Structure 1
């Protein structure tokens, strides 16, 4: 490992430490992430030829070096942008549904006086939705619903933490529930039937055990906001029928995104933008038919105004983190780390994937899984075959492992931004609980592979 590579790693670790201690430094994590991104790539440019030659087999001269690096950065930026546009589209759709009363009827359906009953309803609804949609979109939807149901902040933080755990667990057993499972599925390393049949139970275990522990942190009765008759029908608002239409177009559209991808083979963010366009047009038509005297007040809930409510700091945080991690990938750190793990643990797949899962809570799981896919060839039979132990464990560990730190998954980052949960609070209160569920899931998978399949 060269001195320059070590400097890049140090820059990343220092940036990560500043993000982890955001509550102490009082500096927004997005600013740190952007500085970390720029610092890593600036250091890379001190001697890019060593990486271009080793990683990409570049054989050109110095004059073409800048163009080669620019092309690499643009490629990573393109991959990152698909995530960012997906995130912006999903956040805007959920904001439209929320602001126009789309979640009001869901609140009525889920109404209960028991905090623990609500916890289990939230857990299973999040788990199921994240398998159908994805953990990122599901987290946004569930937080918006929670805001309608729970007014006490301390309780809502516990529910929000469970949303992160349940969303990541639900996404791990579905071929379309998480970016990493989509990658493994598209590459042909796992099959839809195989991953669902063998990872469903471990994923459920990794959600149920943390929920069981967290329920003991909730005491007393739940005091939900009163839903007064006609209170939601304020001037400029939609009718009940229109609100339900907004809900089903928004949430139903999000469920349609995987179908759209499978039909057109276009990236998921294109489907999200399609849903946003349809929902935007629908709400504009609804407002167009409102009484003219109500237009001024109704304008505040139109999409053109709601776009300003999208949390851009979360978007920029994603940009900084993903681009910084892409630099680590470019200098070969992630690949070397995975290779070292395999050598150190003598090919024990449970330990290797288990460690990768823990690492996925620290750095983004996408490049980790991508590194593993590039490192290990698919075998015709055995643990490295299609639907073999290694690939299924990788799908589980990379997905569920991200719950251990709040910045370890897309779901965690979004919830962190929406509910203003600090890194320290989550690490102190939730990390060990998520870790217990994570280990229990691995044990259950071992039992299933040993005694069932």
Structure 2
């Protein structure tokens, strides 16, 4: 290993530490990863030994940029839909329409888990967590019960996202790498939903009271109802188009986004008061820049052949056990760089084993409150939710994760 390679690995480790200790150093992880990601590629070019090596580095960078562009464009389209519907109050309307006005705490826990599971598969898990936390905070619950609800929210949000490419970035990454098929991914919803129910049973102990929900619906405009339907139709078309005709999901979602723009133009007057294109500006670009920085770093590690050691665990253990451990690692190490590194490392697994990894890295982050974006968002919004308070339910979370992984393993054997 050359001195440059060693230095670049150090930069990657520093970037990872910056992500893990974001709350300590108070520097946004997007800024950290983008800085180290771009600098590492520049160093590769600056210390290139020959024109041939420069050409090879350039080709590697172009490959990474192409992969990032596909991921970015898909996320921009999906997040714009969600940003619009959230701003118009459509998501909160759905909650208050399906939830009973007066309900027992135990039943509300199960309904919350069901909502989080379904909604997070359609939208991003951050939005699903924010909406669910707002609902929980509106209830007059004691701290212990509130944390029981939030624990289920984090697990359900992460579980719901694994079966659809719109729900979780790691699922989208594994799909775009052509490791699993879009219809095969949908089957993950079976074991994932069962384990959410099991966790709800675990967490429902002590919930004996009754709560009254405050109705907070807003008037629904015809254009907003049409765009809501268009969003669901775009998701269904993405699945059908890819399964039947091999249409890339990013193309279908961008087409749906273009129709959304035209619908808004011809069905409303918000071209003056509330321009539809403005919703692209309010999506979470910090998240997108974080993905950009991480994928640049992982692409650099692949370029210097530093990912070979990552697959060592797969040389020692069968994929069944190695994937399970990767899920647990994702509670400490952000699942996006972990998944990107595994995809770039060239691991050879069956479709069923890739499904196991998809579930593991998607749900494993739920084991710790800092292990996923949903947990971090919940911790910032819910007073009293600390690392230690969440840790009280680690045994329940680990049991649910293990049962879900076992279910995916059985499903994978059937698919293989």
TM-score (norm: length of structure 1): 0.71
Query: Which residue in the other structure is 2:402 paired with?
Result: 439
Instruction: Give the Cα separation in 1 of the matches to 2:210 and 2:84.
Output: 31
SS at match of 1:302: coil
- Measured in 2, the distance between the counterparts of 1:145 and 1:284 equals 28
Match among 101, 117, 122 for residue 127 of structure 1: 117
Are residue 32 (structure 1) and residue 36 (structure 2) matched? no
Is the counterpart of residue 278 in structure 1 residue 266 in structure 2?
no
CA change 1:67–1:320 in 2 (3 A) is same
Which residue of structure 2 aligns with residue 375 of structure 1?
Answer: 347
Identify if the C-alpha distance between structure 1 residues 194 and 254 changes in structure 2 by more than 3 Å, giving closer, same or farther: closer
Shift of 1:405: 5.7
Of 182-191 and 70-79, the range deviating more from structure 2? 182-191
Q: 1:71 to 1:84 in 2, by over 3 A?
A: same
Q: CA deviation at 1:159?
A: 5.8
Q: 1:257–1:271: 8 Å Cα contact kept in structure 2? A: yes
Structure 2: distance between partners of 1:123 and 1:195: 20
Match of 2:239 in 1: 258
Q: Which has the larger radius of gyration?
A: 1
Match of 1:399 in 2: 362
Q: Could you tell me which residue of structure 2 aligns to residue 20 of structure 1?
A: 20
In 2, are the aligned partners of 1:37 and 1:321 still within 8 Å (CA)?
Answer: yes
CA distance in 2, matches of 1:283, 1:449: 43
Change (3 A) 1:386 1:227: closer
**Residues 178, 399 of structure 1: 8 Å contact kept:** yes
Distance in 1 (CA, whole Å) between partners of 2:231 and 2:147 is 25
Answer whether contact 1:358 1:401 (CA < 8 A) is retained: yes
- Partners of 2:163 and 2:322 in 1: CA distance: 19
Q: Give the deviation of 1:106 after TM superposition.
A: 0.8
SS of alignment partner, residue 27 of structure 1? coil
Over 3 Å counting, the alpha-carbon distance change for 1:46 and 1:326 in structure 2 is same
CA distance in 2, matches of 1:73, 1:157: 44
Question: Contact 1:157/1:419 (CA < 8 Å) preserved in 2?
Answer: no
On the 8 A contact 2:129/2:374 being kept in 1, the answer is: no
| Contact 2:367/2:398 (<8 A) preserved | yes
Cα distance in structure 2, aligned partners of 1:182 and 1:352:
21
Q: Is the 2:183–2:243 Cα contact (8 Å) retained in structure 1?
A: no
Q: 2:324 maps to which residue?
A: 354
Cα RMSD of the aligned pairs, angstroms, is 4.3
Tell me the equivalent position of 1:165: 155
Structure 1 stretches lacking a partner, 5+ long: 50-61, 289-294, 377-383
Separation (CA, whole Å) in 2 of partners of 1:426 and 1:179: 25
For the residue of structure 2 that corresponds to 1:103, the secondary structure is: helix
Please say if residues 356 and 409 of structure 2, whose CA atoms lie closer than 8 Å, have aligned partners that are also in contact: no
Partner of 1:73: 61
Partners of 1:38 and 1:187 in 2: how far apart? Answer: 23
Deviation at residue 78 of structure 1 after TM alignment: 1.7
Q: Which residue of 1 is the match for residue 276 of structure 2?
A: 303
Residue range with higher mean Cα deviation, 39-48 or 21-30 = 39-48
2-structure distance, mates of 1:268, 1:260: 8
Structure 1 counterpart SS, 2:216: coil
- Over 3 Å counting, the alpha-carbon distance change for 1:284 and 1:117 in structure 2 is farther
Q: 2:107 aligns with which of 99, 113, 117?
A: 117
In the alignment, what sits opposite 1:53? none
Q: Distance between the aligned counterparts of 1:449 and 1:314, measured in 2? A: 31
Instruction: Return the offset for 1:435.
Output: 3.8
Residue 132 (structure 2) aligned to one of 120, 137, 146 = 146
Comparing 27-36 with 140-149, greater Cα deviation is found at 140-149
5 Å-filtered alignment, 1:36-435, equals 36-45=36-45, 47=47, 62-112=50-100, 113=102, 114-128=104-118, 133=122, 137-139=123-125, 142-143=128-129, 145-146=131-132, 149-152=135-138, 162-172=152-162, 202-204=191-193, 206-215=195-204, 222=211, 224-227=213-216, 232-233=218-219, 239=221, 241-288=222-269, 299-338=272-311, 340-345=312-317, 348-361=318-331, 362-363=333-334, 364=336, 365-371=338-344, 374-376=346-348, 387=352, 390-404=353-367, 412-413=372-373, 416=376, 420=380, 428-430=388-390, 432=394, 434-435=397-398
Structure 2: gaps (5+ residues): none
How does the TM-score come out when normalised to structure 2? 0.76
CA contact (8 A) 1:151 1:224 kept: no
